[in-house]
Amino acid sequence: MLASDPEGANNFADAWQATGGGEGADHCLALAHLQLGDVQSGAEMLEKLAGSSKAPAAARATVYGQADQAWLMAGDPARALAAATLALSLSPDDPDLLIDRSVAEATLGHYDDAVDDLSHALELDPKRADALVLRAAAWRHEGHLDLAQDDVDRALAKDPDNPEAYLERGILRQRQGDRNGAHNDWMQAEQLAPDSATSDLAEQNLALLEAGPERR
Protein backbone atom coordinates (compact mmCIF):
# COMPACT_ATOMS: atom_id res chain seq x y z
CA MET A 1 0.00 0.00 0.00
CA LEU A 2 2.92 2.37 0.56
CA ALA A 3 3.32 3.26 -3.10
CA SER A 4 -0.34 3.38 -4.13
CA ASP A 5 -2.06 4.53 -0.92
CA PRO A 6 0.35 5.86 1.72
CA GLU A 7 -2.46 7.33 3.81
CA GLY A 8 -4.20 3.96 3.83
CA ALA A 9 -0.93 2.25 4.72
CA ASN A 10 -0.48 4.67 7.61
CA ASN A 11 -3.98 3.95 8.92
CA PHE A 12 -3.49 0.21 8.52
CA ALA A 13 -0.14 0.30 10.37
CA ASP A 14 -1.63 2.50 13.10
CA ALA A 15 -4.48 0.04 13.67
CA TRP A 16 -2.08 -2.90 13.52
CA GLN A 17 0.14 -1.25 16.12
CA ALA A 18 -2.86 -0.60 18.40
CA THR A 19 -3.79 -4.30 18.30
CA GLY A 20 -0.35 -5.57 19.27
CA GLY A 21 1.40 -5.59 15.91
CA GLY A 22 4.78 -5.15 17.58
CA GLU A 23 7.93 -4.38 15.64
CA GLY A 24 6.37 -5.17 12.27
CA ALA A 25 3.66 -2.58 12.81
CA ASP A 26 6.22 -0.06 14.10
CA HIS A 27 8.34 -0.54 10.99
CA CYS A 28 5.38 -0.18 8.62
CA LEU A 29 4.21 2.95 10.42
CA ALA A 30 7.67 4.52 10.12
CA LEU A 31 7.78 3.79 6.38
CA ALA A 32 4.30 5.25 5.95
CA HIS A 33 5.45 8.47 7.63
CA LEU A 34 8.33 8.66 5.15
CA GLN A 35 6.02 8.09 2.20
CA LEU A 36 3.68 10.81 3.45
CA GLY A 37 6.57 13.29 3.65
CA ASP A 38 6.99 13.34 7.43
CA VAL A 39 10.59 12.27 7.07
CA GLN A 40 11.92 13.49 10.42
CA SER A 41 9.25 11.55 12.31
CA GLY A 42 9.88 8.48 10.15
CA ALA A 43 13.63 8.71 10.72
CA GLU A 44 13.18 8.98 14.47
CA MET A 45 10.85 5.98 14.50
CA LEU A 46 13.24 3.86 12.47
CA GLU A 47 16.18 4.79 14.66
CA LYS A 48 14.22 3.99 17.83
CA LEU A 49 13.05 0.67 16.41
CA ALA A 50 16.56 -0.38 15.37
CA GLY A 51 17.85 0.45 18.84
CA SER A 52 15.17 -1.46 20.76
CA SER A 53 14.52 -4.37 18.39
CA LYS A 54 15.15 -7.96 19.40
CA ALA A 55 15.69 -8.94 15.77
CA PRO A 56 19.02 -10.38 14.55
CA ALA A 57 21.91 -7.98 13.97
CA ALA A 58 21.53 -7.98 10.17
CA ALA A 59 17.88 -6.96 10.37
CA ARG A 60 18.63 -4.19 12.87
CA ALA A 61 21.44 -2.98 10.61
CA THR A 62 18.99 -2.73 7.72
CA VAL A 63 16.61 -0.58 9.78
CA TYR A 64 19.48 1.68 10.90
CA GLY A 65 20.38 1.95 7.20
CA GLN A 66 16.84 3.06 6.43
CA ALA A 67 17.10 5.62 9.22
CA ASP A 68 20.34 6.88 7.66
CA GLN A 69 18.59 7.44 4.33
CA ALA A 70 15.62 9.06 6.05
CA TRP A 71 17.85 11.52 7.92
CA LEU A 72 19.48 12.46 4.63
CA MET A 73 16.02 13.09 3.18
CA ALA A 74 15.30 15.25 6.24
CA GLY A 75 18.44 17.31 5.61
CA ASP A 76 20.31 16.11 8.70
CA PRO A 77 23.52 14.42 7.50
CA ALA A 78 24.99 14.32 11.01
CA ARG A 79 22.12 12.15 12.26
CA ALA A 80 22.40 10.13 9.05
CA LEU A 81 26.08 9.50 9.70
CA ALA A 82 25.37 8.40 13.26
CA ALA A 83 22.67 5.97 12.10
CA ALA A 84 24.89 4.56 9.35
CA THR A 85 27.73 4.05 11.82
CA LEU A 86 25.41 2.11 14.13
CA ALA A 87 24.31 0.02 11.15
CA LEU A 88 27.90 -0.80 10.28
CA SER A 89 28.70 -1.71 13.87
CA LEU A 90 26.17 -4.53 13.40
CA SER A 91 27.08 -5.44 9.82
CA PRO A 92 30.58 -4.05 9.05
CA ASP A 93 31.03 -5.69 5.65
CA ASP A 94 27.79 -4.62 3.98
CA PRO A 95 28.63 -2.69 0.77
CA ASP A 96 25.25 -0.95 0.68
CA LEU A 97 25.67 0.38 4.22
CA LEU A 98 29.21 1.53 3.46
CA ILE A 99 28.00 3.36 0.36
CA ASP A 100 25.13 4.93 2.30
CA ARG A 101 27.49 6.15 5.02
CA SER A 102 29.82 7.62 2.40
CA VAL A 103 26.97 9.81 1.15
CA ALA A 104 26.44 11.24 4.64
CA GLU A 105 30.19 11.74 5.04
CA ALA A 106 30.50 13.53 1.69
CA THR A 107 27.49 15.72 2.50
CA LEU A 108 29.32 16.80 5.66
CA GLY A 109 32.52 17.44 3.68
CA HIS A 110 34.33 14.41 5.14
CA TYR A 111 35.65 13.32 1.76
CA ASP A 112 38.59 11.29 3.07
CA ASP A 113 36.22 9.20 5.18
CA ALA A 114 33.91 8.78 2.19
CA VAL A 115 36.82 7.52 0.08
CA ASP A 116 37.74 5.00 2.80
CA ASP A 117 34.19 3.63 3.01
CA LEU A 118 33.79 3.47 -0.76
CA SER A 119 37.15 1.74 -1.16
CA HIS A 120 36.06 -0.85 1.40
CA ALA A 121 32.76 -1.31 -0.44
CA LEU A 122 34.61 -1.84 -3.72
CA GLU A 123 36.91 -4.39 -2.11
CA LEU A 124 33.80 -6.31 -1.07
CA ASP A 125 31.96 -5.83 -4.38
CA PRO A 126 34.19 -4.61 -7.24
CA LYS A 127 31.22 -4.48 -9.63
CA ARG A 128 29.62 -1.48 -7.93
CA ALA A 129 29.67 1.31 -10.51
CA ASP A 130 27.72 3.54 -8.12
CA ALA A 131 30.54 3.33 -5.59
CA LEU A 132 33.08 4.26 -8.26
CA VAL A 133 31.06 7.34 -9.26
CA LEU A 134 30.70 8.47 -5.65
CA ARG A 135 34.40 7.94 -5.03
CA ALA A 136 35.19 9.92 -8.18
CA ALA A 137 33.19 12.84 -6.78
CA ALA A 138 34.99 12.57 -3.44
CA TRP A 139 38.38 12.52 -5.18
CA ARG A 140 37.34 15.58 -7.20
CA HIS A 141 36.41 17.51 -4.08
CA GLU A 142 39.83 16.65 -2.67
CA GLY A 143 41.50 17.93 -5.83
CA HIS A 144 42.65 14.52 -7.09
CA LEU A 145 41.27 14.86 -10.61
CA ASP A 146 43.40 12.06 -12.04
CA LEU A 147 42.01 9.56 -9.51
CA ALA A 148 38.49 10.89 -10.11
CA GLN A 149 38.90 10.43 -13.86
CA ASP A 150 40.13 6.86 -13.40
CA ASP A 151 37.14 5.97 -11.22
CA VAL A 152 34.54 7.49 -13.53
CA ASP A 153 36.10 5.75 -16.54
CA ARG A 154 35.97 2.44 -14.68
CA ALA A 155 32.34 3.10 -13.74
CA LEU A 156 31.34 3.67 -17.36
CA ALA A 157 33.25 0.56 -18.45
CA LYS A 158 31.13 -1.45 -16.00
CA ASP A 159 27.86 0.39 -16.65
CA PRO A 160 27.81 2.33 -19.95
CA ASP A 161 24.31 3.68 -19.23
CA ASN A 162 25.03 5.13 -15.79
CA PRO A 163 23.64 8.70 -15.78
CA GLU A 164 25.48 9.69 -12.60
CA ALA A 165 28.77 8.68 -14.22
CA TYR A 166 28.07 10.94 -17.21
CA LEU A 167 27.15 13.78 -14.87
CA GLU A 168 30.44 13.38 -13.00
CA ARG A 169 32.53 12.96 -16.13
CA GLY A 170 31.00 16.14 -17.51
CA ILE A 171 32.14 18.01 -14.40
CA LEU A 172 35.65 16.64 -14.79
CA ARG A 173 35.72 17.53 -18.48
CA GLN A 174 34.60 21.06 -17.70
CA ARG A 175 37.39 21.35 -15.12
CA GLN A 176 39.82 20.32 -17.85
CA GLY A 177 38.47 22.94 -20.28
CA ASP A 178 36.64 20.46 -22.51
CA ARG A 179 33.35 22.34 -22.90
CA ASN A 180 32.07 20.20 -25.78
CA GLY A 181 32.81 16.99 -23.90
CA ALA A 182 31.08 18.32 -20.79
CA HIS A 183 28.06 19.38 -22.85
CA ASN A 184 27.76 15.95 -24.46
CA ASP A 185 28.07 14.12 -21.14
CA TRP A 186 25.43 16.24 -19.44
CA MET A 187 23.07 15.80 -22.40
CA GLN A 188 23.59 12.05 -22.10
CA ALA A 189 22.85 12.16 -18.36
CA GLU A 190 19.58 13.97 -19.09
CA GLN A 191 18.57 11.47 -21.74
CA LEU A 192 19.33 8.45 -19.56
CA ALA A 193 17.54 9.73 -16.44
CA PRO A 194 14.81 12.22 -17.38
CA ASP A 195 12.79 13.75 -14.55
CA SER A 196 15.40 12.86 -11.93
CA ALA A 197 17.71 14.71 -9.58
CA THR A 198 20.60 13.74 -11.87
CA SER A 199 18.78 15.25 -14.85
CA ASP A 200 18.10 18.44 -12.89
CA LEU A 201 21.80 18.82 -12.03
CA ALA A 202 22.81 18.14 -15.61
CA GLU A 203 20.34 20.77 -16.83
CA GLN A 204 21.69 23.32 -14.36
CA ASN A 205 25.25 22.62 -15.48
CA LEU A 206 24.26 22.96 -19.13
CA ALA A 207 22.61 26.30 -18.41
CA LEU A 208 25.76 27.58 -16.72
CA LEU A 209 27.86 26.28 -19.57
CA GLU A 210 25.71 28.10 -22.12
CA ALA A 211 25.74 31.28 -20.04
CA GLY A 212 29.50 31.50 -20.32
CA PRO A 213 32.15 32.29 -17.70
CA GLU A 214 31.23 35.97 -17.53
CA ARG A 215 27.69 35.18 -16.26
CA ARG A 216 28.50 32.41 -13.75
134 and 142 Cβ atoms separated by less than 8 Å: no
- Looking at residue 210, its pLDDT comes to 87
Residue 163 has a pLDDT of: 98
The dihedral built from the CA positions of residue 135, 137, 140 and 145, taken in this order, carries a sign that is positive
In this prediction, residues 97-120 reach a mean pLDDT of 98
Measured distance CA(60)–CA(134) in Å, rounded: 25
**Does any domain span residue 181?**
yes
Average pLDDT over residues 190-212: 94
Residue 179 located in a structural domain: yes
- Region of poorest pLDDT, from 9-18, 74-83, 148-157: 9-18
Instruction: Please report the DSSP string for 86-113 in residue order.
Output: HHHHH-TT-HHHHHHHHHHHHHTT-HHH
**Hey, is 178 helix, strand or coil?**
coil
Residue 114: inside a domain: no
Question: Any idea what the CATH number is for the domain that residue 133 is in?
Answer: 1.25.40.10
Q: Residues 127-150: pLDDT tens digits?
A: 999 999 999 999 999 999 999 999
> What 8-state DSSP symbol labels residue 55?
S
**Does residue 6 form part of some domain?**
no
Number of folded domains in the chain?
1
Q: What contacts 150, CB < 8 A, 6 or more positions away?
A: none
Residue at 144 is within a domain? yes
Angle at 205 between CA 203 and CA 209, to 5 degrees: 115
- Name the average pLDDT for the chain: 95
Q: C-alpha 33: how far from its chain's center?
A: 19
Residues contacting residue 17 through CB under 8 Å, at least 6 positions apart? 25, 26, 29
User: What b-and-e string marks burial along 107-123, b requiring 16 or more CB atoms within 10 Å of the CB?
Assistant: beebbebbbbbbebbbe
Whether the per-residue pLDDT at 214 is higher than 50: the answer is: no
- Say if 164 falls within a structural domain: yes
| Angle (deg, nearest 10), helices 6-18 and 22-35 | 150
Residue 168 placed within a domain = yes
Could you tell me the residue range of the domain that residue 202 belongs to?
Answer: 127-211
CA 202 – CA 189 distance, rounded (Å):
7
Q: 26 in a domain, yes or no?
A: no
